[in-house]
Amino acid sequence: MAIPNMQIPSRQLFIDGEWREPVKKNRLPVINPATEEIIGYIPAATAEDVDIAVKAARRAHGRNGWGSTTGAQRAKFLRAIAAKVLEKRPELATLETIDNGKPWFEAASDIDDVVACFEYYADLAEALDSKNKTEVKLHLDSFKTHVYKEPLGVVGLITPWNYPLLMTTWKVAPALAAGCAAVLKPSELASITSLELGEICREVGLPPGALNILTGLGHEAGSPLVSHPDVDKIAFTGSGPTGIKIMTAAAQLVKPVTLELGGKSPIVVFDDIPNIDIAVEWTLFGCFWTNGQICSATSRLIIQDTIASQFLDRLLEWTKNIKISDPLEEDCKLGPVISRGQYEKVLKLISTAKNEGATILYGGERPQHLKKGYYIQPTIITDVDTSMEIWKEEVFGPVLCVKTFKTEEEAIELANDTKYGLGAAILSKDLDRCERFTKAFQSGIVWINCSQPCFWQPPWGGKKRSGFGRELGEWSLENYLNIKQVTQYVSDEPWAFYKSPSKL
Ligand SMILES: NC(=O)c1ccc[n+]([C@@H]2O[C@H](COP(=O)([O-])OP(=O)(O)OC[C@H]3O[C@@H](n4cnc5c(N)ncnc54)[C@H](O)[C@@H]3O)[C@@H](O)[C@H]2O)c1
Ligand SMILES: NCCCC=O
Ligand code: NA
C-alpha cells in the first residue's frame, strides 16, 4: 500500500465537543524524531483548561447525560468511532510515524488494534445492559440484595508516547463503554493522533463533553487533572517516577488510580528449543520491536550456558540484518527513539554499562548511514553483572542485556531479580517446565515460546513496581464502574431492635 504524505493538522484543545484555544494560548512544538525537525504545534493546556474540561465532562456525565445512556446506545458511538478510525487508517498511521518514529507498518498495525479495541468495548458495553444488575443470594429471606454496576463518573486518563493512539484507546474505549465521561491527557511527545481522535468524535457526533482531550505538559496539564477535586479516578500509563507523583497527589483526595508503569522483563531460553532461528527471532522482536520502546520489552536475555555461544552468534547475524531507516521507508524495522532526551538517556545507559565492565557485543552507537534523527543501533550487551545499572534499570530503547544460567533454579532467580513485574517469557520445548516458570515468574503477563504478542481480550498489567490494576479485556471495564450494593427489606415484620413505645 502507498504510504500517504501528511502535514500535521493544526488543532486546538478538544473540550465539550468543540475545538478551543487554550486559555493561555500557548503551543508546544511537534518534533519528527526521524528528522529532528519541528513539523507542527500542539496546544499546551494549563490548570485553567483542565477546569473547563472537567466541568464539561461533569455536565456530560450528569443526569440524563452520557452516564445515563444504555450500553447499547454507547456501543453505537464506539462502533462509529472504530469505523472512522479504519477509514482514516493510512493517514493516522503516517501521523503516528512522523510524530513517534515507529515504522509505518507497525503504526498501521497499531491502528488496526485501535479499531478492534473500540469494537470490542462496544460489545462489552452492550453486554453490560444485561449484567449491570445481579442478585446476591443472602442467608435471610427478609432481605433481598443486588449489585448494581454504574459508571464511576468523570475520569482522568493520562497516557505515554510509545503507542500513542493505542494507549489512548486502551483507556478511552472502556471508559466510554462503561458510561464515564473522560478527560484525556496524552503525552506531549506524541499527541497528534489522540487529537485526531477528537475530530473523529466530532464527526460521529459523540455527545459534547463525553470525551475531552487536553494536550500539554505533564506538570502543567497532567498534574492539575490528577489534583482536580471533581475527577473521580485517574488511569495512568507511563514511567515509575511519574506514577509515584500521581499516586501521591491522588492519595490526598483518596482518589483511586490504576498505574501501568515500566518494566525490565526477562526472556529465559533453554537449550531444548527445537529451532534456534525461531527462538532468536522472538528474542529480537521481544526487545527491538517498536524501536525498543515497549513497556513489556523482554530486555534481559537469560540463556542456558550450553547453547549460549551458538545462540549469540545467530542473534548477531539476525541483528545485523535489521533494517534501520526512516520509518516511512518500506521494510524499515527499526526507526529512531522518540526524542533527543531519550536518545541521550539510552546512550548514557550503554556507556555506563561499558564503564561498569560489560561488553558491547553489537551496536551501542548511532548507525553510520543516518546523520540526522534519534537513531540508535540495536544493541546487545554481554558480561553483565546483576549489580549493573543495565541489568536493573528500564532502558526503553533497543538494548538487550544477556546473562547465562546453568539450572532452572538459577534461571528463575535471575528472571525475578528485578523490582519490576510486568512481562516474562520462556522459550522451551518442555511444557511442564514452561508451567513451572509460569507459576514462578513474578509478573502480570507470561509469554510461552513467544514474546510481546498482545491481544485486547486478555488482561494487561503488572505487579511489583510495574504498577497495579488491569487494562484490556473485561477487566478494564471494571476500572470504570462503581459497584453499588442495593439491599431491600422485604419482610412485613417489624425490625424489633428497639422496644416499641406502644408496648411500654
Ligand atoms: N505498563 C504499561 O502498560 C505501559 C505501557 C506503555 C508505556 N509504559 C511506560 O511508560 C514509560 C514511557 O512513557 P513516558 O515517557 O511518556 O512516561 P512519563 O511518565 O514521562 O509520561 C507519561 C504521561 O504522564 C504525563 N505526566 C508527566 N508528569 C506528570 C505529572 N506530574 N502529573 C500528571 N501527569 C504527568 C506526561 O505528560 C505523559 O502524558 C515507560 O516507563 C514505559 O515502560 C508502560
Ligand atoms: N503492545 C502494547 C504494549 C504496550 C506497552 O508498551
Ligand atoms: Na513527536
pLDDT tens string 167-189: 999 999 999 999 999 999 999 99
DSSP state of 298: -
pLDDT at 1 over 90: no
Q: In sequence order, what E strands does 406-470 have?
A: 420-421, 423-427, 445-448, 463-464, 467-468
Query: Taking residues 276-300, what's their average pLDDT?
Result: 98
299 CA to centre of ligand 3 in angstroms: 24
What's the confidence (pLDDT) of residue 14? 98
Question: Given phi > 0 = left and psi -120 to 50 = alpha, else beta, which region is 303?
Answer: beta
Ligand 2 proximity of 109 Cβ (cutoff 6 Å): no
Give the position, in ligand 2's atom list, of the atom nearest the Cα of 297: 6
Whose CA is closest to 50, among 29, 25, 23, 27?
Answer: 23
* Nearest ligand for residue 50 CA: 1
Q: How far apart are CA 112 and CA 64, in angstroms?
A: 33
Question: What sign does the CA torsion over 296, 302, 307, 309 have?
Answer: positive
Q: CA–CA separation, 325 vs 265, rounded Å?
A: 27
- Closest-CA residue, ligand 1 atom 5, reads 295
pLDDT value at position 385? Answer: 97
Ligand 1 midpoint to CA 491 (Å) = 53
Other beta carbons within 10 angstroms of residue 150's beta carbon come to 15
pLDDT of 132 reads 87
* 3 state SS of 203: helix
Residue with cell 486518563: 157
**How much is the pLDDT for 2?**
81
| 410 in catalytic set | no
Lowest mean pLDDT among 60-69, 255-264, 342-351, 368-377: 60-69
282: Cβ–Cβ under 8 A, 6 or more apart, which residues?
Answer: 267, 425, 427, 449, 450, 451
Average model confidence (pLDDT) across the chain? 97
Reported as a pLDDT band with limits 50, 70 and 90, residue 445 is very high
Please work out whether the CB of residue 394 comes within 6 Å of at least one atom of ligand 1: yes
Name the residue with the closest Cα to ligand 1, atom 2: 260
Reading the block at residue 62, the C-alpha cell is 450528569
Phi, psi (5° rounding) for residue 313? -60, -45
Cα-to-centroid distance, 102 and ligand 3 (Å): 11
226 lines ligand 1 (CB under 6 A): yes
Bridge partners of 158, per DSSP, are: 185, 236
Q: Catalytic: which of 106, 119, 126, 260?
A: 260
What's the rounded mean pLDDT across residues 400-405? 98
Task: Choose one of 113, 167, 259 to mutate for the ligand 2 pocket test, by most ligand atoms within 8 angstroms of C-beta.
Answer: 167
Q: pLDDT tens for residues 87-101? A: 999 999 999 999 999
How would you class 464 by CB atoms within 10 Å of its CB: exposed for 0-12, middle for 13-18, buried for 19 or more?
middle
- For atom 1 of ligand 2, the residue with the nearest CA is 454
Longest dimension (CA), the chain: 98
245 CA closest ligand 1 atom index = 31
Mean pLDDT, range 417-441, rounded to an integer: 98
State the average pLDDT over residues 444-465: 98
Q: Per-residue pLDDT for 27 more than 80?
A: yes
If you average pLDDT over residues 207-228, what whole number do you get? 98
User: How many residues belong to the chain?
Assistant: 504
Candidates 158, 171, 445: which one to mutate for ligand 1, based on the most atoms within 8 Å of Cβ? 158
> Quick one: average pLDDT of 155-162?
98
CA of 160 to the centre of ligand 1 (A): 4
Domain boundaries, the chain: 13-261+466-487, 266-448
Mutate which of 112, 237, 261, 294 for ligand 2? The one with the most ligand atoms within 8 Å of its CB, which is 294
Report the candidate in 74, 294, 115 with the shortest Cα–Cα distance to residue 197: 115
- pTM for the predicted model, two decimal places: 0.98
* Residue matched to cell numbers 444504555: 70
**What's the pLDDT tens digit per position in 127-147?**
999 988 999 999 999 999 999
Residue 64 has a pLDDT of 87
Q: What is the pLDDT of residue 504?
A: 59
* Contact call for residues 177 and 74 (beta carbons, < 8 A): yes
Asked whether 156 lines ligand 1 (CB < 6 A), one says no
Kindly state the average pLDDT of the residues 271-292.
Answer: 98
| Smallest CA separation from ligand 2 atom 5, residue | 295
Question: How far is it, in rounded angstroms, from Cα 401 to Cα 376?
Answer: 15
- Select from 96, 113, 162, 394 the residue to mutate for testing ligand 2; criterion: most ligand atoms less than 8 Å from CB: 162
Determine the average pLDDT of the residues in 101-129. Answer: 98
What 8-state DSSP symbol labels residue 417? -
Cα separation, 225 vs 242, whole angstroms: 14
- Is the CB of residue 279 below 6 angstroms from any atom belonging to ligand 1? no
55 burial level (CB within 10 Å; 0-12, 13-18, 19+): middle
CATH class name, domain 13-261+466-487: alpha beta
pLDDT for the residue 161: 98
Between the CA of 467 and the centroid of ligand 2 the distance, in Å, is 14
Percent of the chain with pLDDT over 70: 100
Answer yes or no: are the C-beta atoms of 287 and 434 closer than 8 Å: no
Q: What is the mean pLDDT of residues 56-80?
A: 96
Determine which residue's CA is closest to atom 17 belonging to ligand 1: 238
Write down the ipTM of this complex. 0.97
Residue 503 binned pLDDT confidence (cut-offs 50, 70, 90): low
> What would the mean pLDDT of 222-247 be, rounded to a whole number?
98
Q: Give the Å distance between the CA of 295 and the centre of ligand 2.
A: 6
Q: What is the pLDDT of residue 249?
A: 98
Q: Which CATH number fits domain 266-448: 3.30.365.10, 3.30.70.580, 3.40.309.10, 3.30.70.260?
A: 3.40.309.10
Q: 260 CB under 6 A from ligand 1?
A: yes
Q: How close is the Cα of 467 to the center of ligand 1, in Å?
A: 12
